[in-house]
A = this chain, B = another copy of it.
Amino acid sequence: MDPKDSKRSAPCSRVDVHNPHLDTLKDDILYHFSLGTKTHDLPAMFGDVKFVCCGGSPWRMKAFTEYIAAELAMEDPKSEYPNICAGTDRYAMYKVGPVLSVSHGMGIPSIAIMLHELIKLLHHAGCTNVTIIRIGTSGGIGLEPGSVVVTKQSVDATFLPKFEQVILGKTVVRNTDLDETLAEELLECSNELSQFHTVVGNTMCTLDFYEGQARLDGAFCSYTEKDKQDYLNKAREAGVYNIEMESSAFAAMCKLSGLRAAVVCVTLLDRLKGDQLSSSHDVLHNYQQRPQILVGYYIKKQLNPKAKCC
Chain B positions within 8 Å of A123 at CB level: 219
Q: Does A166 contact B (CB under 8 A)?
A: yes
Would A278 and B29 count as touching, CB distance under 8 A? yes
Counting every copy of the chain, the complex holds 2
- With A89-B58, A109-B109, A223-B168 as contacts: A218 and B116 at CB distance below 8 Å: yes
Q: Which B residues touch A220, using CB under 8 A?
A: 17-19, 116, 253, 256-257
A119 shortest CB reach to chain B, Å: 4
A227, CB-defined interface residue at 8 Å: yes
Question: Would you call B107 and A219 a contact (CB within 8 A)?
Answer: no
Bound CA–CA A22/B109 (angstroms): 29
The 8 Å CB contact of A108, one of B29, B109, B169, is B109
8 Å CB contact of A219 from B108, B116, B158, B231: B116
Interface size class of A (residues with CB under 8 A): 35 or more
A22: chain B residues at CB < 8 Å are 217
Q: How far is the CB of A54 from chain B (nearest CB, A)?
A: 15
Instruction: Give the residues in chain B near A221, CB-CB below 8 Å.
Output: 18-21
Query: How far, in whole Å, are A277 and B116 apart by their CA atoms in the complex?
Result: 15
Contact status A209-B168, CB under 8 Å: no
A222 touches B (CB below 8 Å): yes
Given A120-B219, A219-B123: A108 and B207 interface contact (C-beta under 8 Å): yes
Q: Are A219 and B105 in contact (CB under 8 A)?
A: no
- Distance (whole angstroms) from the CB of A165 to the closest CB of chain B: 6
Rounded to whole angstroms, the CA-CA distance of A217 and B28 in the bound complex is: 8
Contact across chains for A110 and B109 when beta carbons are under 8 A apart: yes
| A212 B167 Cβ-Cβ under 8 A | yes
Among A29, A105, A120, A168, chain B packs the most CB atoms within 10 A around the CB of: A168
Q: Mark A220-249, 1 if CB is under 8 A from B, else 0.
A: 111101011001000000000000010000
Partner of A169, one of B28, B209, B231: B231
Residues of B within 8 A of A212 (CB): 109, 165-167
- In the assembled complex, the Cα of A158 lies from the Cα of B221 at a distance in Å of 28
- Whole-angstrom CA separation of A20 from B219 in the bound complex: 10
Query: Which chain A residues have a beta carbon within 8 Å of chain B's beta carbons?
Result: 17-22, 25, 27-29, 31-32, 56-59, 89-90, 105-110, 112-113, 115-117, 119-120, 123, 157-159, 165-169, 206-212, 214, 216-223, 225, 227-228, 231, 245, 253, 256-257, 276-278
20 contacts across the A-B interface (CB closer than 8 A): A19-B218, A21-B217, A27-B276, A106-B110, A107-B107, A107-B110, A109-B110, A109-B208, A109-B212, A109-B245, A113-B208, A113-B209, A116-B209, A116-B220, A157-B169, A166-B206, A167-B212, A167-B222, A167-B223, A168-B231
